[in-house]
A = this chain, B = another copy of it.
Amino acid sequence: MALEHAILVSLLEKPGSGYELARRFERSIGYFWTATHQQIYRVLKRMEADGWIDVREVPQQGRPDKKEYSVSGYGRTALGEWLHEPIQPESVRHELAVKIRGAAFDDPRALIGEVRRHQRMHRDQLEHYLAGERRDFGAVDAPPCDGVRPDAGRELQHAVLRGGIAYERMMIAWLDDVLDTLHRLGPGR
């Protein structure tokens, strides 16, 4: 029941159409919460019916008109309430871990290519995050100047991005470990 809330956060950061939200869920917020455009349109309708968001028809030239959604006061309250609720344990799905354990019943070395492929994807994602960090948060971490209030949104987005970076680095290192293990084991049973 949190796609609604992810959408609220995204619309508070910047109002936009269903299409634009779908694009954001392919990057940025999508690194921590995925959704397809079909889901988004369905949920936007419900949120509008519930009064969490307002719509504004935006006529455009050279491209189809769009509906720009923004968060209503009511939606903001709903987000606040959600923020104060404790999170319940998330359901985990690490398909690669299941495959690694399954490899014991097959030829373990057959997984090597797949693990390498994943490692490459994680390296790419890390590069992507680091490029984003350089672009959006600069290379130097300037110490906060006295009297200058740090921008909470920016700081928090950066903190989340640092989490993504730490995750990718951890995965790359772990997959090195897995590759070592797979190489040590001979051909399967």
Contact = CB atoms under 8 A, between A and B. Distances in A.
A142 B100 CA distance: 22
Interface residues of A, number: 73
A99 B33 CA distance: 11
A30 to B, nearest CB: 8
A106 B178 CA distance: 42
Contacts of A178: 159, 163
B105 A76 contact: yes
A93 B152 contact: no
A55 interface: no
B166 A32 contact: no
Interface stretch (A5-13, A40-48, A126-134): A5-13
B32 A98 contact: yes
A114 interface: yes
A87 interface: yes
Contacts of A162: 174, 177
